[in-house]
Structure 1
Amino acid sequence: MFIAMNRFQVKLGSEADFEAVWLGRDTHLSTVPGFVTFKLLRGPEQEGLRLYASHSIWKSRADFEAWTRSEAFRLAHKDAGDNRGLYAGHPQFEGFDVLQEVAADAA
């Protein structure tokens, strides 16, 4: 498995607009080969900014990388530049290969 995360530093007062953009967009992920799940996370306020992260899980790094070259990726990100004013800097990407997974018992 592979976990892809982007961290966003959102200007205070822009949180509602940021959330509306993300919650209202079509991610185009549900039919992408290798996609497992996506979460948008709201974090703490720090140094005058609100931290957010996108968190997606993929069956493999190769599946994630194939998605970044796909039409679905281009469609999901086509308007990203329109919202630059919400952010303090560029998103920070972090990718992780999963070495261990522990899940709750199904019972």
Structure 2
Amino acid sequence: MSYFAMNRFKVRHGHEDTFETMWRTRESKLNDMPGFVEFRLLKGPDGDGFRLYTSHVHWASRADFEGWTKSQAFRDSHKNAGNSTTRDALMGPPQFEGFETVLQQG
């Protein structure tokens, strides 16, 4: 069954545009990866001093996701993850969540 890899980001108020631009302009290699289905960046509710965002990546299987995490493309896409722009925008590191599909309709 399919697998969803998600990261939650707490983006400080005032940094939302910078955060969204970073995602829009990044070089993504996901389309080249076996098992990649879809990527979405979602903007959620306001919190205490932050806006919640989450990235959702849909994979054909957990094995495909794990292959991505061990690839050079993964390392290349995350090489600037800790730069000063990111550190200023985020209230701590992203929170990873991974889910395997147990039921699908539609």
Q: TM-score, normalised by structure 2?
A: 0.94
Query: Equivalent residue for 2:35?
Result: 34
Secondary structure of 2:105's counterpart equals: coil
Q: Does 1:72 align with 2:53?
A: no
Deviation at 1:48, TM superposition (A): 1.5
| 1:24-67 residue CA offsets vs partner (Å, 9 max, x unmatched) | 10121001011110000011111111000000110110110110
Secondary structure of 1:17's counterpart equals: helix
Secondary structure of 2:54's counterpart equals: strand
Query: Equivalent residue for 2:89?
Result: 86
Q: Give the fraction of aligned pairs with identical amino acids, expressed as a percent.
A: 51
Q: TM-score, normalised by structure 1?
A: 0.93
Show structure 1 runs of 4+ deviating over 3 A.
none
Deviation at 1:76, TM superposition (A): 1.1
Within the candidate set 72, 75, 100, 1:97 is matched to 100
Kindly provide the amino acid, as one letter, of the partner of residue 47 in structure 1. Answer: D
Kindly provide the amino acid, as one letter, of the partner of residue 100 in structure 2. Answer: D
Unaligned ranges ≥5, structure 1: none
Indicate the RMSD between aligned Cα atoms, in angstroms.
Answer: 0.7
Deviation at 1:79, TM superposition (A): 1.0
Deviation at 1:102, TM superposition (A): 1.4
- Partners of 1:97 and 1:61 lie apart in 2 by 7
Aligned ranges 1:41-80 → 2 under 5 Å: 41-80=42-81
Unaligned ranges ≥5, structure 2: none
Deviation at 1:14, TM superposition (A): 0.4
